[in-house]
Structure 1
Amino acid sequence: MYFNLNQFELDRLSELKNSEILATGGTGFFGRWILEFVLYLNNKYNFNIKLYLLARNDNIEINEIAKQSRNIFFIKNDIRNIKELPENINYVIHAACTPDNIWHINNPIETMNIISIGTKQLLDGIIKLENVKKVINLSSGQIYGNSAYKKIKENSFGALDCFSVKSIYSESKRYSEALCKAYETFYRLPIVQVRPFSFIGPFMSLQKPWAINNFIHDAIKFKKIKIVGNGKPIRSYMYPTDMIEWLFGILVSQNHNNTYNLGSDEGVSLENLALVIRDILGNRIDIEILNMNDNDDVFLPDIEFAKKELDVDTKVNFKEALKKTIKWNIDK
């Protein structure tokens, strides 16, 4: 069991009992953890939540879970083709489109279409519903661009190079936020913008093109950990139990139309990340710093606003998150 809620947290979530939730990107990392949390609330505390997971690709495991549960429903469809949504939906979590930057670069037009057209199709469906209490649009911490701030606040915007294919995802997510603001203003939809940063934990593929995934993969296989740059860039990694508890805290919050960073503010350099992975595994694993670039950027969220407004905190620190992730990947 992944979750351990106290009584205050359970009481706060009690309004979700007998509700209906729609999550787009239902087979992705967020979708899988939304599923795990709803199963936890239903099975342990009888919340009786109906969860609809929308995704264009099949997932055998999620399909099996849906078949075995009377409250879990898998909808196979491309979000861009959605015409109607289940009529009694109360909450929507829009998590469609992978954050995989390699995929974005190889599929730039598809990336823009999924985010722009998909978000519009979803919003057009939502405005037809009568019982929607909250919509969460999962944007991205990447929309901040080249911020000069060590910890990025919700208003700390920097520059984005719109002529670079590397900005396709970020620019599209900025557009999705603007589109949501238009629907919020015109249709009075209760939309909250959430900007995820970086995460690590169970159900995340180690084949994803991010340094921490590559480091863990190579270390488990007793390969050399190779740091392409100088090892100085600083990142943070939130464990998904914190991620999902914050997300559901936003669902039931009385604060509407806000914007929140979602992530950990416990920074670690890529070099130290490699060292901690080696220490956890307790094996002789070589670390090579290739120094192919001099990048020393910092990508850390300022989460003080979210902590204050939502009365949440991070329960799992970086090293514990790393230990849990490594153990899950070894045991699976």
Structure 2
Amino acid sequence: MRVIPNGFTLFQEDLEHVARHLDDDWDRLRGAHLFITGGTGFFGMWLLESLLWANETRGLGMRVTALSRSPERFLAERAPHLKGRPGLEFVAGSLTDFAFPAQPCTHILHAASETNLEQSADWAQRHLNAALGGTQRLIEMASRHRSEALLITTSGAVYSPMDSVVNDRCVEGPAGLADYASEKIVYGQSKRMMEIMTSVAAQQVGFRALIARCFAFVGPYLPLEANYAIGNFLRDALAGRDVVVGGDGTPLRSYLYAADLAVWLLRILARGRTGVPYNVGGEHAMSIGDLARTVARVAGGTSSVQIKGTPVPGAKPSAYLPSVARARDELGLDIFVPIDDAIARTLAWHRSRGVGS
């Protein structure tokens, strides 16, 4: 039986999974003061609870400060279990205008990103402001605090080319403003600029610039009502209805469980080479259709799978798949939780919170 320990929301099995896989790394973070952006989101909740668990069970003497637009609301509505926790503090503000903590931070983890769930017309501008302005603010903080390391989480979207090469000729690509302002281009190119800004500053200031290019994930706290295919599939299965695939089911993806994600990010923070990007994601490629069938099977019950689209005969499926060779070879990282177990743990967590039929 999976147990959630007092003062946490994640399963003890997962918290200890993170702590155990990092037992050779904790000494590098002993006594550290870590600053986390995005501490109230999917990445952030996993980082906060994993660090608190390790701090309390390993006696690491770490301090964690998290940035939130409204710490009072977050603690009251989403995380009352974190209120008054030893070693945990909050700073109120946005990415671009927050006040630096009074006590210097040795390590900075930039896990925040501006989402576009509401499909607003001004998202592109807001995202650019947050991505570039927020990164610059953190660089200033790292310089002033003489921080040891600044880790930024970017995305596999940096690999999506804005321009194309056809028959050895450069083709312009975007055909107008709408293309330049599209979510795909703005998101990917801003993430690339974050990497460049951080690396240039690191060369001048002297901190380690750590880059985690993040792909696709599954686990507790991943939104079920957003534009994440696996989250939508989990939502359908938990409700006991058919798991619906909106497209043709052919795109290829791979997934990393959130506990492994926390291990990877913290290992990169502890040991990663400065200015070197590390892909963070799963390795087992599966089609979106097969993913939906896997969710339905693992969930049990009577859910079947509906695939609304029809594949184009002979068309090559799109793929969003990382090579994780660098992370494995340099940092000894691996995919420790198989996809079936990852799905089962996520379903169990939601069911423990009363989600489902």
Q: TM-score, normalised by structure 2?
A: 0.83
Are the equivalent residues in 1 in contact too, given 2:36–2:44 (CA < 8 A)? Answer: yes
Task: Kindly tell me the number of residue pairs found equivalent between the two proteins.
Answer: 320
**1:163 and 2:180 aligned:** yes
Which one is further off, 187-196 or 232-241? 187-196
Task: Measure, in 2, the Cα distance between the counterparts of 1:85 and 1:293.
Answer: 53
Q: What is the correspondence of 1:148-159 to structure 2 with a 5 Å cutoff? A: none
Task: Measure, in 1, the Cα distance between the counterparts of 2:323 and 2:334.
Answer: 12
Letter in 2 for 1:30: F
Are the equivalent residues in 1 in contact too, given 2:93–2:99 (CA < 8 A)? Answer: no
Q: Deviations over 1:1-24 (max 9, x none)?
A: 122368773132222111110001
**1:122 and 2:135 aligned:** no
SS of residue matched to 1:54: strand
Ranges in structure 2 where 5+ consecutive residues have no aligned partner = 1-11, 163-171
Are the equivalent residues in 2 in contact too, given 1:85–1:125 (CA < 8 A)? Answer: no
Task: Measure, in 2, the Cα distance between the counterparts of 1:207 and 1:7.
Answer: 32
Deviation of 1:106 after TM superposition, in Å, equals 6.0
Which one is further off, 304-313 or 5-14? 5-14
Assess, with a 3 A threshold, how the Cα gap between structure 1 residues 257 and 237 changes in structure 2: closer, same or farther.
Answer: same
Question: Out of 41, 48, 52, which is 1:28 matched to?
Answer: 41
Deviation of 1:292 after TM superposition, in Å, equals 6.3
Q: Deviations over 1:27-79 (max 9, x none)?
A: 11111111111111112111121000112244136663443312001112111
Equivalent residue, structure 1, for 2:256? 238
Equivalent residue, structure 1, for 2:324? 303
Are the equivalent residues in 2 in contact too, given 1:100–1:209 (CA < 8 A)? Answer: no
**1:70 and 2:86 aligned:** yes
SS of residue matched to 1:93: strand
Which one is further off, 106-115 or 71-80? 106-115
Question: Out of 97, 101, 104, which is 1:88 matched to?
Answer: 104
Assess, with a 3 A threshold, how the Cα gap between structure 1 residues 331 and 306 changes in structure 2: closer, same or farther.
Answer: same
Identity %: 24
**1:139 and 2:160 aligned:** no
**1:330 and 2:351 aligned:** yes
Q: What is the correspondence of 1:91-240 to structure 2 with a 5 Å cutoff? A: 91-98=107-114, 103=119, 107-130=123-146, 132-145=147-160, 161=174, 163-166=180-183, 167-240=185-258
Equivalent residue, structure 1, for 2:337? 316
SS of residue matched to 1:68: coil
Task: Measure, in 1, the Cα distance between the counterparts of 2:347 and 2:20.
Answer: 30
SS of residue matched to 2:201: helix
Assess, with a 3 A threshold, how the Cα gap between structure 1 residues 38 and 186 changes in structure 2: closer, same or farther.
Answer: same
Letter in 2 for 1:93: L
Are the equivalent residues in 2 in contact too, given 1:63–1:74 (CA < 8 A)? Answer: no
Assess, with a 3 A threshold, how the Cα gap between structure 1 residues 293 and 80 changes in structure 2: closer, same or farther.
Answer: farther
Ranges in structure 1 where 5+ consecutive residues have no aligned partner = 148-158
SS of residue matched to 2:67: strand
Are the equivalent residues in 2 in contact too, given 1:228–1:292 (CA < 8 A)? Answer: no
Assess, with a 3 A threshold, how the Cα gap between structure 1 residues 114 and 6 changes in structure 2: closer, same or farther.
Answer: closer
Assess, with a 3 A threshold, how the Cα gap between structure 1 residues 146 and 236 changes in structure 2: closer, same or farther.
Answer: farther
Q: Deviations over 1:228-259 (max 9, x none)?
A: 21111111111111111111111211632221
SS of residue matched to 1:10: coil
Deviation of 1:266 after TM superposition, in Å, equals 1.1
Equivalent residue, structure 2, for 1:156? none
SS of residue matched to 1:136: strand
User: In angstroms, what is the RMSD of aligned CA positions?
Assistant: 2.4
Task: Measure, in 2, the Cα distance between the counterparts of 1:314 and 1:266.
Answer: 9
